[in-house]
Amino acid sequence: MAKLLEIRWHGRGGQGAKTAAQLLAEAASSVGKYIQGFPEYGPERMGAPVLAFTRISDEPIRVHCHVTEPQYVVVLDPSLLLRGDVTAGVPEDGIILINTDRSPTEMRKAMRLTGRKVFTVNASRIAEETIGRPIPNTPLMGALIKVTGLMALGDLLADTEQRLAKKFADRPQIVEGNLNAVRRAYEEVQGE
């Protein structure tokens, strides 16, 4: 693993970019990694473009500046691709994971993208079918660990279950739905 891994999440207010950034950080923390998970705060509201970040490292993380050159980018809403800034700072060998029903090849063409590796998964549909709402954040976590090898599926599932069980103590079906979403996205994510 890179000395310091940085992930940028592009979403719209309400899609759970911040939650995903922090859930992934917590999951990595649970397997002994050092982490940071933080959103970019502005006058955001439901639907507005938002950013969130995850840092993961084997050593204590000391930097407290913005993430400008993320190795991995996760796009929660494909309509954000039109804004053209999702690839900003991403190195040639970086990974771009997009929530869409289209293939990586189609997306690369649509984005006129050179270099980098593109992966796609229909996280919104998976979320709709497993959780009952099109909130793509948890399935994207499953897809991300598959394409990056960040952590084992079992570890992510165990930690996510523990976190969500606290939050949704009275609604176990939501917890189970999210875990299924993570599993399905892990299986269904496509590369080029």
As a whole number of angstroms, the distance between CA 172 and CA 121 comes to 25
Cβ-Cβ contacts under 8 Å for 56 (sequence gap 6 or more): 1, 4, 5, 7, 24, 25, 28, 33, 34, 35, 150
- Tracing tokens 């270099």 back to the chain, one arrives at 115
**Site stretch for another protein (CB under 8 A), options 31-39, 74-82, 92-100, 138-146:** 31-39
Span from 64-72, 83-91, 109-117, 183-191 in contact with another protein (CB under 8 A): 64-72
The position carrying tokens 């959103």 is 39
State both tokens at 159. Answer: 């930690």
Q: CA 157: distance to chain centroid? A: 14
Q: Which of 48, 63, 88, 165 binds another protein (CB under 8 A)?
A: 63
Q: Which one of residues 10, 11, 20, 36 is an interface residue with another protein (CB under 8 A)?
A: 36
Judged by CB under 8 A, which of 35, 123, 143, 189 binds another protein? Answer: 35
CB-nearer residue toward another protein: 32 or 114: 32
Q: Any contact of residue 25 with another protein (CB under 8 A)? A: yes
Q: Which residue has 């939501």 as its token pair? A: 174
Chain residues that interact with another protein, rule: CB under 8 A: 22, 25-26, 29-30, 34-39, 41, 60-66, 68
